[in-house]
Amino acid sequence: MTSNINLFTPVQLGPYTLPNRMVMAPMTRLRAIDNVPNSLMATYYAQRATAGLIVTECTMVSPLSLGYVNCPGIYSEEQVAGWRQVTDAVHEKGGRIFLQLWHSGRVSHPSLLDGELPVAPSAIAASGTLHTPIGKVAMETPRALETNEIPEIVEQFRKGAENALAAGFDGVELHGAFGYLIDQFVQDCTNQRTDKYGGSIENRARFMLEVVQAVASVWGANRVGIKLSPSNTYYGMGDSNPQETFGYAINALNPFGLAYLHLMEPDKVDLASGDVMNPVTPYYRKIYRGNLISNGGYDHLKGDSILKNSGADLVSFGKLFIANPDLPKRFELNASLNAPNPKTFYAPDEKGYTDYPFLAVQPTKS
């Protein structure tokens, strides 16, 4: 079924009417010195306020959820005040911004956690390496969470949602993708528990649903989104039956009436394995009944196409928003695009962050 909808068609997202369907995807940028958001970050996000919706980079809900140096948090008064600078700057430009709540789980290292082991559903190490205060290191085997510890982490997400409200955000997104803690509970390669949080699909989805419920109790479900990546294999992720696992999980989200479900298509690394769903969005579009955001290599033409064919309701863009703070205007005018520089994605300063040029202002005719 085709429609006249395109990237510039307004859309209702929970209580908000967004002026366009272009979402700035959450992207790790590592500019939060000592894990506190700052004025440089406020400038960065405000520059991109013409997106229909901005979703922030992953933001840790506790000190022990840290996975990268200089990631922002949302568990201290100082961090709340730092994020308030960001939300004020975005709102002054007329934008909407959601905070992405995150726990890294096993994707961490004791050198990031004051010597403590990372926690996870099961004591199974992630694959790959991390950049840490002591250099690039291999992942260590995490500590399996005790059953009675899990409600404490659910509460950390709830408190993070409460702090996000105090910081002036318009809503929150739960990071359930890319092999972090929520994803680790859902997929059976990382969850080999025998308690009520492991084994069956229903049990493996329990933690995710408890977190959704807790966060929705703060915000109302219609200002909460969740991001999932059924086909991404980051950090050694995988499931024996991803269609069934994520089909159950996504169907279980339907009764909440969330603001949206944000789905990731597989990246080139995943495609090389040859054993992932590709594409993801059309399969779960048939299951999920609310707003669906699709992400994965979209440009202007591909974005318009999936909307026209009712394959998604919104489209999120990552690297294109890094390099083009005025991406909606460039798409509207079919203007040329700045190319992103991967060497500065995680740099500590404004280079490759707030210095990408806007379109030149055209002189007005007299």
Q: Which residues are catalytic, by number?
A: 180
In angstroms, the CA 13 to CA 53 distance is: 9
User: SS3 of 146, please?
Assistant: coil
Main-chain dihedrals φ then ψ at residue 91, nearest 5 degrees: -65, -35
DSSP string, 225-287: EEEE-TT--GGG---SSHHHHHHHHHHHHGGG--SEEEEEPP-HHHHHHS-S-SS-HHHHHTT
Distance CA 193, CA 34 (A): 34
Q: How far is CA 219 from the centre of its chain?
A: 17
Residue 117 burial by Cβ neighbours in a 10 Å radius (0-12, 13-18, 19+): middle
Tell whether the torsion through CA atoms of 227, 229, 232 and 234 is positive or negative.
positive
Q: Are residues 298 and 315 in contact, defined by beta-carbon separation less than 8 angstroms?
A: yes
- Phi, psi (degrees; rounded to nearest 5) at 167: -85, -5
Compute the distance between CA of residue 147 and CA of residue 269 in angstroms, rounded to an integer. Answer: 34
Parallel, antiparallel or unpaired: strands 143-144 and 53-60: unpaired
Taking the C-alpha atoms of residue 144 and residue 227, their distance in angstroms, rounded to an integer, is: 24
For 279, list phi and psi in degrees, rounded to 5. -85, 170
